[in-house]
Structure 1
Amino acid sequence: TGLRCVEARLDAVATRFSGQLRRSTEATLNAGGKRLRPLLALLCARKDAPLDGPVIGVAVAVELLHMATLVHDDVLDGAALRRGRPTVVREAGVHVATSVGNYLLAAAFSEIVDTRHPEAVAVLSDVATGLSEGEILQMHEAYLVAVEPDAYVRRCTLKTGGLFAASCRLGAVVTGVPPAVARELEEYGRLLGVAFQIFDDILDFTGEEMTTGKRTGTDVRDGTMTLPLIYALAVSPGLADVLGRRQKAEADVVRVVDEVRRCGALDRAREAALGYVAAARERLAACPDDMEKDLLGQLAGRVVDRYS
């Protein structure tokens, strides 16, 4: 299948070198994950697209770019764990982790250049720029309690929705999907990515550390204003004093988490996420019958299942 081809290519990327770079790259690429972005690229391609063609290259490229951003995020955050496993930062240090992230980024563009598709190169370049912009925006908005839902969605689009959208567009354009359909698939990806991020932010208040890979209330500690926190502030404005502080007592973090769970903010955020999923599914109406629109609809359901 297509995903097996993607995994084989990722293994080749991980084993291209020896020593520490190889060990750390292998650990990063083998750390699990859902491979959602490659799957989106594969499902948005024409059904008759050959598996030795450019669609595998773009599927590999979006996963490499995604993994590069995760490694760089761990460097910025000094994170010790991701998905319940030690990060490269913890195992090998900041310098090695930075090099691994840089290598994965370079490998992503190498894969995309090998497709010999100019638009594909432009799409990946644009989304990489957006990822950087989203990270800087999140840093700028840290501990700012006046963040509005629209600003949050913009950040989600840059950090998550953009790569989902690019994955869909890349799979479509390199296999000759008509431009109008490719645009609808791109928007499907963007909407699904925003929903994915909202659900991920909900899990910060409901998930178990062994499942999510991070402590409950991490966004509260880090000052990251997510949709559950924005909605909680609307009904419990007294939380602003804690959320705006860079240094928080653990008891204050627990109090905020408990209030977010109590005040209805999680249900409201979930409804918003479900709205984005429904809007994403509506975009699939433009897909002809010879595309995998049923599987794309099912994939949207998998995003919902992360929270259910």
Structure 2
Amino acid sequence: MRAVVVRRFGGPEVLEFTEIPVPVPGSGQIRVKVAAAGVNPVDAATRSGFLTEAGIIPPREVIGIGWDVAGTVDAVGDGVTGFATGDAVIGLRDRPSTALGTHAEFVVLDADAVAAAPRTASLVEAATLPLNGLTAVQALDLLDLPADATVLVTGAAGAVGGYAVTLAKARGFRVVAVAGPADEALVRGFGAEVFVPRGDFLADRVRAVIPGGVDAALDTALLGLEALDAVANRGRFVVFAAGAAPIPLRGIRVEHVWIRADGAALADLAALVDEGTLALRVADTAPLDEVAKAHERLAASGLRGRLVLTNE
């Protein structure tokens, strides 16, 4: 089978296809025939060598690319219950150092990293959910705040930010969203109560609406100190990339969300999709053969939703 890997670091041109045997699921594992897989910033960070430089991926001769997957169960290992061949599923590969990612024809995942795909969405749409949805959920879990707390979400029009707004509202938080001026209607549609356009003196403008500052911030846009300054003393602040944590001024607890696979949480997210609470957004699709072009589009930024690679 074919899979996308990198053997050296650099731009999209270093992405290459390799032929490898179809992987065999072990005990407690599932083999998924990949129908669709999202293209995420972490894929670009892997390809460029940033994650290796940051000490997150050890040096390897071959590194697989791709975290999200949506497809059908192709084989199950011993001891797996609840899944059968042909089931539509979503899942997450959370070990970035492996030689095989989800940008491939087949991938093997632990059964507890997989969930049934949303019934009301296509597999292309469902492929946008695992990494970004779980990142938002696990970031919110770090806050440990009462339901009426105010939560600032930067990058609220982005893939993670959009989910974070919706899921924060579903938990009873009052959401203050930061995005470009043209995205106000979009993020209010996600559930934001307050909208603050991105730009200079962000903290002053947030505090003009929320005197004393917000209780917490999810900084998906990596604004750092600019967003931290909008948080009240002894508040909460969550960062989403290695090396992006600001100094924890004024007793603010700064946390880093380190994503992990969680099939049960994925099942909960799929249920929110099916009940109409959580909207899936596909920016565009491309065949797996055009993975390098997809990385070029990702680098250009400005996407609303996720690029998705398909196995045609």
What is the TM-score of this pair, normalised by structure 1? 0.30
Structure showing the higher helix proportion among its residues: 1
Structure showing the higher strand proportion among its residues: 2
What is the TM-score of this pair, normalised by structure 2? 0.30
